[in-house]
Each structure stands twice: as structure tokens, then as C-alpha cells.
Amino acid sequence: MPGKSPSQPKQTVLVVEDDPILRSQLQEWLEEEGRFNVILAPSARGALDQLAATRPDLVVLDLVLPDRSGYEVCEHIRKEPRTREVPVLAVSARQTPSHRAQAEEAGASLYMAKPLAKRELLKNVRALLPGAGEEGRKP
């Protein structure tokens, strides 16, 4: 696999996004890197179910979801001892300083505004995940 040594286990990324096209795009971008297992959730309920079943290394979290706010999901992640230290990359079409501040208050590690760019997304994922740095990047 390009960009990943065989001895290094893949890191798990939970992508929580209600838009099926963007959810598939994020999965493709992450899997192309060759060092991430991607788990998908289309809703807050799906995210909470996945978090109960597994502890991802990173959560990419849309803040506007159909059933519950992504801010609430982020707060849940921070309150649970098992997931408290999991980095959360919050994504949203809402780009005001107050939305960014609300994401930080909920416990987001980083905030990205939509539309998302592949290069920026992967740069932020690498920044949040130990062992996913530039040195192992695909050419």
C-alpha cells in the first residue's frame, strides 16, 4: 500500500455526514491515503451507535445533522471517558465566528468550513492523528 508501512496499523476514522455524496467523497479521500479504515454514519444516532461499538482514532463530524446537532454529538464524545481524547474535526457550511466558537465550546479539535477541499482535509487529519504525518504521505 502506498504511503503506509505494513507494520503500521490503519487508523479508524468515523465520518458523520448526512449528505450521501459528501459522505462518499470523504470516504474516498481518506481511503485513497491507504492508512485509514473509514466508518460511516449518516446521522447523530448512527454516530452514537458507532461510538458505542468502537473507539475511532478520529471523528470527522458534520455539525448540522437531521436528527440531532453535531454540537451535541461532540459534547457526548467529550463526556464519555472512552472517547474523551478522540480528536474531532468539525465541518459545517456555517462559517461565522460564532459557529466556530460554538464548535470549540462543544469540544471540537479543529473546524473546517464547507465546501471541503481534499488537500486541506487531509492536512487537518494528519495534524490531528499521531502517525499520520507528512512523512508517510502518498506522493
Convert the pLDDT of each residue in 22-79 to its tens digit: 999 999 999 999 999 999 999 999 999 999 999 999 999 999 999 999 999 999 999 9
Q: How many CB atoms neighbour CB 129 within 10 A?
A: 17
Residues 125 and 10 sit within 8 Å (Cβ to Cβ): no
- Cα–Cα distance, 108 to 75 (Å, whole number): 9
Q: What is the pLDDT of residue 133?
A: 58
Q: What is the pLDDT of residue 130?
A: 79
Per-residue cell: 112: 473546517
Closest CA to 113 of 100, 124, 126: 100
Residue 135 has pLDDT above 50, yes or no: no
The pTM (predicted TM-score) of the whole model is 0.89
**Edge-first strand listing for the sheet containing 36-41:** 36-41, 11-16, 58-62, 88-92, 110-113
CATH placement of domain 11-127: 3.40.50.2300
Per-residue cell: 53: 461499538
